[in-house]
Each structure stands twice: as structure tokens, then as C-alpha cells.
Structure 1
Amino acid sequence: MKIATSEIMRLIDSYCINELHIPGIVLMENAALKVVKNIDLDKYDSFCIVCTKGNNGGDGFAIARHLHILNKNVEVFLVGGKENMKPDCKINYDILKNMGININKVDNLEDINELRDCIERNQVTIDAIFGTGLSRNVEGIFESVISIINENSKYIISVDAPSGFDSNTGKILGKCIRANKTVSFELYKRGFLNYGTDKVTGKIIIEKIGIPKSAINKFHNNEFIMDRNMIKNNLIKRDKYCYKGDYGKVTIFAGSQGFTGAAYICSEGAVRSGAGLVTLCCHKEIQPILSSKLVEAMTVSFEEENRIKELVDKSDAIAIGPGMGNNEGTLNILKNVLNRAKNPVVIDADAINVLKDNLDILAHRNCQIILTPHLGEMSRITGLSIDYIKEHRLEVSQAFAKENKVVILLKGYNTIITDGNSTIINPTGNSSMASGGMGDCLTGMIASFIGQGYNSMDSACISAFIHGYCGEVLSKEMFCVNATHVLNNIPFIIKELQE
């Protein structure tokens, strides 16, 4: 699924109307029909529809017409008057008037009281006020209307975007509708991705309204959301003649005293997602512990320098960082690996932390790099506050990836994966997975898929989707999902997604 800003949507709409000569009223009609399609008509019979003079209001007038034709009880309100009403909106407004449907005006406090009474006596409120084009704070009568809708509605459906919502940034513009469901059109809006937006959007549905793919591709800026089909189409089925050497040699640098779990989970993440050969490099003090736990993976101590050089030279993928400690030793190991490696390196956890004030080491290397920070780690290496990154996750990730020529996987709600040119969002996973070790597991998986022959972006995307999907499936019957649960289920989930 593709992602867009409101500016991109305007360009697409303008191109369709002015260049392809698709009448705007046709797109409006299609939008109205798709909203009606997403209403439970067996459950709901009465509707209060709140419109304005813009095209979002035109959608609302068309929705009212279709619900009236279906013998539903419909009451319609126009907020702010009809002066300078958009032409397509006026067509649908006039059709309602010609059909004898009363359109109530909301211009003052007395009208507000009438709107409140209407909302209270109807089952569903349909918000067709502002849509995606709003960029300024909601004020005046519109602010009052939104408050009345939020305070008195039993169920709210927003058309395209909740009114008062900035569809580019996810910010609330003063006052915002708190929808139970948002039916948006053609492309997923960038603002929907931000933390906390589900509290105002409710369930988000994206519907096609007849815009040609060529028009979307002309203006789309390579931002996507993953879905099951994307993963299924990209997973390679194994050839019956292949052997372990065909599925990659993966080397993992991880662990320290007291943090053997991180090393174990990362190594098992690589093993359980299909790597042919996995070797863990760790401190001599913890090697016996990990050798006894890791049945399928091999271990080497950091003291075996020649063996480690050989492993780095022959590895198809390397992962480094989980549980290593934010110290000079970790920085030196990272430098040595990046100076020697020719194949992709996945940098996570403490190997990210030691990059603070040392980003120059990313510039002098002959390997592709994938960094997998959470918000705190991203803050350390960029110098930006966590709050700022939360509000600008796409822009921060894209800029860092482009400037440093790396792939960034910024973990969290709607994980972002970008190389600075293409950006892909992973929607899987949930808060049941909020426990230590999850990131270590993901790091091992990414290295594993690289080792199996996938490119860096595909490996990051596939791993993030499977990792989150494992958690979602398990959380249906579990209160909390730990990394070990995910590890045990990775092979089964991959098989399911291949079917």
C-alpha cells in the first residue's frame, strides 16, 4: 500500500481532472459509495451528516443521498454557509435540495443546539467537514461543531481524514474529531503513521475511487506500507537440491558478562529464520555458557583473532551489537569489522550507541550497513530529542539514511525501513511484544535473510514483518509475548506466509 501527503493527493486529483479529464464529480460519487460500503447498514438506520462547502462536504452530501435512497433516516447539516461553495460540492448539495431533503445550516449557537439534538437522536455521525486538505488550526464555529460531535455522538465515521487532523504530520490542529472509523481514499496518509493517531482515526480503511495507477505513480514518492502479499511474493521457496552452504554464513558479535541472553537470542534469531551456518563471536568468559545453550550455532571467543578475521572474510552477513556494552571495546570491534567486511553488516544496540560522536566510521567501508535503532538510540546518534524524532520519524530516518548511505530500520509503532530513497512501513506487531530481547531476535533475523541471498532492504522488511506477525499471532492467546516465544514460532510463520 502506498503512502502520500495531502500535497501529493492534490497533484493526483488535479492531474486526473485536468489532464485525464475524469470529472471530479465522478471521483466524489465513487468516494461516497465507498464510504456507504463501509457502514454496517444492518446495524445502523439513522445518520447525522455534517458537511461544509468544500469537496469533503460534497462527499458528505453524496453519502446522504445514497443513504436516503436506501431508506435510512438522514439529517444533513451545512456548517459555515454555502458562499463560494466548490462546484462539485454544489452539484451534490443541489441534488439533495431537489430531492426535498432538508439541509440545516449551522451558523450560530442556536444552530449548534439543533445539531446536538440531532446527534443525540441518531445512531451514527458522519464527519464530512475538512478531510485531508486542512493545514491551519480549527477555529470559531467549526471548533464548536467538532466539540459537539465528539461529546454527543454514539459512533463517528470520518470521510478521508478526521476533521482537525493534519494528514501530513499527524498533529491535531486545535480541535479534532475522534472517529471510530476513517474511510480514506486511494493512498494511506502519512499522518496516520504517527504515535497516538489511532485515538482520533479509529479503524482506518483505504478505498479505491477510480484513480488510474499511472496517475498515482506519476506523483508518488516511494513510500509504502507492507502487507502479507508483499512478503509472500518476496519469500523465495527453497530448491530441493540446495544445502546449508547455499543459505549463508552468518557471523554474530554479541554478548558480555550478564548479557548472555542478548547473544543467545540474536544467534537463535538467525538460526530459526533459516541461515545455513551461524557463528557467535563473544567474550571468552561467556563462551562456555553460550556454547552449551546454542545447539545449532558455533561459538568463537574474541581472543581468537585469526579465526575472527577468517569468519568476517567468509561471512555472507554479519550482525553486531546486542548485549556488548557501550564501551571502547565495542567501538574497536565495530571499527575492525567495518574495516574488513565486504558483505552487509547489521548494527544494533550497543554497536549503535558507540556511534555517538563516531559516525565518521560509517563513511570508510566497503560493505552495506543496516542500523536498527529504537527511538533512544536514534536520539543518541542524531543528537535530536526523542520527542522530535517521534513527530518526524519519516523525515529523520530518511535524512540519516541518505546522508550516511545506510539502511535505517527505526523500531517502534509502524517501524520505518528506509535507504533514503525508498521508505517502507511495517504495520505488524503490538504491545504484547514489549519486552527485552525482541530487538536482538530481529537483528539475527535480518542477518539471516541477507545470508540467504536477499538484499538489505528486502531482508529488513521481511524480517520486521515476520517478527511482528509472530507476535500478533501469539498474542491472540497470550498476555505477553517474549523473544523465546517468537524464536520458537519463526519457522512456522515463514512457512505459513509462503503457502
Structure 2
Amino acid sequence: MWILNSEQMKKADRITIEELNIPGLILMENAGIAVVNVIEDLFEDMLDLQFTIVCGRGNNGGDGFVVARHLIRKGVNVDVILIGHHEQLKGDALTNYNMLRVYTNRIHEVRDRAEFDLFLEMLEKADVIIDALFGTGLTNPLSGLFAEIVETMNQQEGIIISIDIPSGLSSDTNKIIGPSINADITITLAAPKLCHIFPPAELFCGELFVEDIGIQDSVIIQANPSLKLITDEDIIPLLIPRMPDTHKSHYGEMLVVAGSSGKLGAAWMTGQSALRSGAGLVTIGVPHSCHKTMMSKVVELMTVGLACTPEGTFANAAVPEILDFVKDKHLIAVGPGITTHPECVELIRELISQYDKIMVIDADGINAIAQDISILNDKKGTLILTPHPGEMARLLKVSTKEIQDNRIEASRDFAVKHDIILVLKGYRTLVAFPNEMVYVNPTGNPGMASGGTGDVLTGMIAGFVAQNIDNINQAVLAGVYLHGLAGDIAKEKIGELPLTASDIMKYIPRAIKTIMNND
């Protein structure tokens, strides 16, 4: 599902109207009908409720007029407040205003605060307030009368439904640019916008509905979007039933290079998560001094001991051992729990410059790269990096706040510049590709903010990539999306507070089954 900014939405509208010859009046009608359909689904008792629709003078107000007309035709009790004078209306909004006047005389015009106060009672008595003041075109903060009206609407007890975006927000940013409607429900049209997806603006949108108004997906693509929400449809093609005549080598063989003295849990969670995601054969490589301990911990996983330092970390001498071991494997997952011991740092550098297949790099593997990012220029294979914001900040030598304030740009720029796949973890995890596309993950919850969940994600990404080496991009999306979904299922089962990485692993099969059953 595409995520659009105001210019992209405007371009999609223009192509639909001018090139496909679908009048704007039809799109506005479709928008109003879509909003009414959602209202009918949400409010079975709508004939017993009082609706007040607050309309602006632009197309968003025109959408509001259409909603009012259709609700009135269904017998709903509706008042309409137009902020402005009807003589200021034009185009499709004026046409729909005139059509509405055929059905009701309860359209009240407000040109100043004094007039608005006369109709304040309508807001106070409304069970449902529909916000149709401003749509995607707003770029400047609301001020004066509009700011006062927004603040007054927010103070009412009625449920607030915003059409397209809550008035006061900008569709081009997740930041709060000024006074804004704090909606309980937002019904957006054609595609979600930036403000619907990312906090803090997202928090003003309430429950989000995305409704089709007749703008084709092919038209949206012509608007050149580069941001997309991951959905079930993106990963279903990877979750197909297996053929009867098959064996483990058909589903990927991989090596996990992880762990150190005191951090073997990271290695086990990474490997076990890869298996749970369907990988055919997973071997965990650990420092030789930890090998016996690791062998006693695992059942389905294979293990191998690798050259180590006296401190119980990987030694650089493990590089030839690793490269020899993976000659017939599909990929390496490396980094969880390896520490930033100087020999581990060198090991990462040499693997990047010598290994010519796929490598998923997480945790201390990323910290090793951060010490000299130029090593990425020497990569031989395909790299998938999975930093959290702090690790991303180390890579770019900036503060974590700078990363969090510019997550999309930072991810996209890094992936393009270094020709890698980058997974920036956190709320709304981002997956950035070298072709400038960035995907946004809608799954996951705060209960996943605990140690080990990143190791599970690394294993899941590696597991899906191992099975789909001809479709790496989609496999990465699957790992990210299902990781969050497994966390959401765990939350429903046990709650947020006690949720651990092991719980996420436990529910990976349920997450996969959920998507397969939805197909």
C-alpha cells in the first residue's frame, strides 16, 4: 500500500481527471460515499445520533457536503457548519453545496468567532462531529478563527471523524505543525499519507481507514511514490505450501556466526528463529571455547566451534574456517553477541571483503562497520544491515535524535549510497532498498522493546532469505512483517509487560499460519 505526500496525491488526482477523464465531481462523490459507508459500519444506531459536519471552503469541505447529503438521504439527523460564506465556494465544492441545499436548510455559515459561538451548541450536542475543514493541501499552521475552531472541536465530547486527514496536520510530515484536530477516527482517501503513519502526527488520527475512491494503483505509481506500507499481499507469495517431493536443501542452508562467552543466548535465538521461519538447515558457529556449552543447549540446530581469543570471542583466524564452511551454504547471519573485540572487528571486515553471497549483519557486526564505514565499499556480496537507531547513529556519526527525526531520509540515503538493504528497527521499522524504495512495517508493539528481539529478527530475515535467494527483497519484508506480527500475537496471549524474545519465537508459526489462512 503506497504512502503519499501532497504533491503525489495531487498528481494522482490530476492524471485521473485529465488523462482518464474521470471528473473531479465523481471523485468527490466517491469520497463522500466511502466515508458514509465506513460510518454505517461503525454506527449501527446512526439514525439515533446527532451528526454535525464542519466544512471548509475547499475540496475537503466539498467531501463534507457529499457526506451530509448521503447521511440525510438515509434519515440521519445532520447539521452542517460552513466556515466561511457560500459565495467563497467554487468548483466541485460549490456544486455539492448547491446539491446539499436541495435536501436541507440546516447549513449554517460562520465568518467570525461571534458567529461561531452562535452555533457552538450544535457541537456540544453532537454525538458525532465530522471534520471536513482542511485536506492534504495544508502546509502552514492554522491560526486565527480556524485555530480557535479546531481547539473548540477538540474540547467536545462527541466522537470526531476526520475526512482524509485531521485538519491542522500536514500530509507531508509526521510533525505537528500547529493546532490540529485530535480525531477518534480518520477516513483517508485513495492512500495513507505521512501524517497517518508516523508519530507524533499519527497519534492525532485515531483509528485509520483507507478507502478507495476510484484512483487506480497504476495512476498512483505514475505519481512516483517511494514509500510503501508492508501488507499481507507483499509476503503471501512466499508462504506457499511445500511440494511433497522435497528435502531440507530446497529451503536454504545457512550459518549463524554469533555469541561469545556470556552471550550464547543471542546465537541460539538467531538460529532458532531462522529454523522457525522455515530455513532448511541452520548451523550456529560459536567461539570454540563456548562450543560444548552451545551443543548442550540446542536440538534441531547444528553447531560448529570456530577459532577464538582467550577472552572467549571470535578470533580473526576464524575467517578462513567460516569461508570454507559456507562454500555450499546460501548465506551468513553475523553479529549478535560477538562483542567489539578488535579481532571480531577485523573478522567482520574480512568477511565483508571476501564473502560473495548474502550476509545479514546485526548488532556488534554493525558496530564493527561503524568503526570504518569505508569497508562497505569493498563488499563482495549482498549485505543486509539491521541497525537500531543507536547503531544507525554510530554508522552516520550523528546523534540518535537526528536519526529518529529523519528516519526515512537516513535509511534511504544510506541504502542508496552503499548499495545495501537496510532495516532500521524501531516503531514503524523501515526497510530501505538501493532503488530508493522504503517500506514501512505496521506490525509490532512496545512489548517487543526488550533484549533479544533483535536477534530473533536477524534470524527471521536470514531464514526467509535463505529460502528465497532469488527474491531477497520480498524475503526481507516477510521477516520484518512476521516478526512484528508474532510479537502482536504474543501480546494478545500474555500482555506487553512480560513479553520476551522467546515469546516472539514461540509465535512465529502462528504468525505464518495467520497470513497463509488469510490468503
The correspondence for 2:362, drawn from 348, 363, 369, is: 348
**Counterpart in the other structure of 1:221:** 225
* Contact 1:46 1:124 (8 Å CA) reproduced: yes
Cα separation, 2, equivalents of 1:192 and 1:260:
40
Secondary structure of 2:430's counterpart equals strand
**Counterpart in the other structure of 2:181:** 177
**Counterpart in the other structure of 1:365:** 379
Identity of aligned residues (%): 36
* Contact 2:253 2:282 (8 Å CA) reproduced: yes
Secondary structure of 2:370's counterpart equals coil
**Counterpart in the other structure of 1:427:** 442
- Encode CA deviations 1:87-120: one digit per residue, 9 max, x unaligned: 1111111222343423222222222323432111
C-alpha change, 1:75 and 1:492, in structure 2 (3 Å) is closer
Amino acid at match of 1:363: N
Amino acid at match of 1:403: K
**Counterpart in the other structure of 2:19:** 19
Confirm or deny that 1:468 pairs with 2:484: yes
Amino acid at match of 1:322: P
**Counterpart in the other structure of 1:489:** 507
**Counterpart in the other structure of 2:285:** 281
Secondary structure of 1:199's counterpart equals helix
* Contact 2:174 2:202 (8 Å CA) reproduced: no
Secondary structure of 1:132's counterpart equals coil
Cα separation, 2, equivalents of 1:259 and 1:414:
28
C-alpha change, 1:457 and 1:77, in structure 2 (3 Å) is same
Cα separation, 1, equivalents of 2:103 and 2:466:
66
Deviation of 1:84 after TM superposition, in Å, equals 4.1
1:186-265 aligned at under 5 Å gives the runs 186-265=190-269
Amino acid at match of 2:197: L
- Encode CA deviations 1:337-359: one digit per residue, 9 max, x unaligned: 11221211001111112222411
Deviation of 1:396 after TM superposition, in Å, equals 1.4
Cα separation, 2, equivalents of 1:26 and 1:247:
50
C-alpha change, 1:433 and 1:183, in structure 2 (3 Å) is same
Amino acid at match of 1:42: E
**Counterpart in the other structure of 2:430:** 416
CA-atom RMSD, angstroms?
1.8
Deviation of 1:333 after TM superposition, in Å, equals 1.3
- Encode CA deviations 1:305-335: one digit per residue, 9 max, x unaligned: 4532212333211111111123323211111
Cα separation, 1, equivalents of 2:418 and 2:206:
37
Amino acid at match of 1:474: A
Cα separation, 2, equivalents of 1:443 and 1:146:
45
- Encode CA deviations 1:267-322: one digit per residue, 9 max, x unaligned: 11112222222222222332222111121222223317453221233321111111
Deviation of 1:496 after TM superposition, in Å, equals 4.1
TM-score by length of 1: 0.95
Cα separation, 2, equivalents of 1:451 and 1:100:
63
**Counterpart in the other structure of 1:5:** 5
Deviation of 1:403 after TM superposition, in Å, equals 0.3
Question: Gaps spanning 5+ residues in structure 1: where?
Answer: none
Deviation of 1:239 after TM superposition, in Å, equals 2.1
**Counterpart in the other structure of 2:130:** 126
Task: Report which stretch shifted further, 368-377 or 192-201.
Answer: 192-201
Cα separation, 1, equivalents of 2:411 and 2:375:
19
* Contact 1:134 1:166 (8 Å CA) reproduced: yes
Confirm or deny that 1:37 pairs with 2:33: no
Secondary structure of 1:285's counterpart equals helix
* Contact 1:287 1:301 (8 Å CA) reproduced: yes
Cα separation, 2, equivalents of 1:491 and 1:74:
49
Secondary structure of 2:507's counterpart equals helix
**Counterpart in the other structure of 1:396:** 410
Confirm or deny that 1:51 pairs with 2:55: yes
**Counterpart in the other structure of 1:163:** 167
The correspondence for 2:396, drawn from 347, 357, 382, is: 382
The correspondence for 2:81, drawn from 77, 93, 117, is: 77
Cα separation, 2, equivalents of 1:309 and 1:112:
74
C-alpha change, 1:109 and 1:498, in structure 2 (3 Å) is closer
Deviation of 1:204 after TM superposition, in Å, equals 0.7
Task: Report which stretch shifted further, 133-142 or 18-27.
Answer: 18-27
- Encode CA deviations 1:106-151: one digit per residue, 9 max, x unaligned: 2222223234321111101100011111111111110000000001
Cα separation, 2, equivalents of 1:385 and 1:259:
27
Cα separation, 1, equivalents of 2:405 and 2:105:
43
The correspondence for 1:149, drawn from 150, 153, 178, is: 153
Amino acid at match of 2:516: Q
Secondary structure of 1:49's counterpart equals strand
1:90-105 aligned at under 5 Å gives the runs 90-105=94-109
Task: Report which stretch shifted further, 70-79 or 321-330.
Answer: 321-330
Amino acid at match of 1:173: I
Cα separation, 2, equivalents of 1:490 and 1:93:
52
Task: Report which stretch shifted further, 382-391 or 35-44.
Answer: 382-391
**Counterpart in the other structure of 2:350:** 336
- Encode CA deviations 1:55-100: one digit per residue, 9 max, x unaligned: 0000011111111111211111111334542311111112223434
* Contact 2:349 2:369 (8 Å CA) reproduced: no
Residue-pair matches, total: 499
Amino acid at match of 2:336: P
Secondary structure of 1:134's counterpart equals coil
Amino acid at match of 1:271: L
C-alpha change, 1:84 and 1:236, in structure 2 (3 Å) is same
Deviation of 1:41 after TM superposition, in Å, equals 3.7
Confirm or deny that 1:325 pairs with 2:339: yes
**Counterpart in the other structure of 2:311:** none
* Contact 2:348 2:369 (8 Å CA) reproduced: no
TM-score by length of 2: 0.92
Cα separation, 2, equivalents of 1:391 and 1:420:
21
* Contact 1:116 1:152 (8 Å CA) reproduced: no
Cα separation, 1, equivalents of 2:479 and 2:209:
25
Secondary structure of 2:505's counterpart equals helix
Cα separation, 2, equivalents of 1:212 and 1:276:
40
Task: Report which stretch shifted further, 30-39 or 298-307.
Answer: 298-307
C-alpha change, 1:489 and 1:347, in structure 2 (3 Å) is same
**Counterpart in the other structure of 2:313:** none
Task: Report which stretch shifted further, 236-245 or 427-436.
Answer: 236-245
Secondary structure of 2:161's counterpart equals strand
* Contact 1:186 1:208 (8 Å CA) reproduced: yes
1:274-313 aligned at under 5 Å gives the runs 274-303=278-307, 305=318, 306-313=320-327
* Contact 2:260 2:337 (8 Å CA) reproduced: yes
Amino acid at match of 1:452: Q
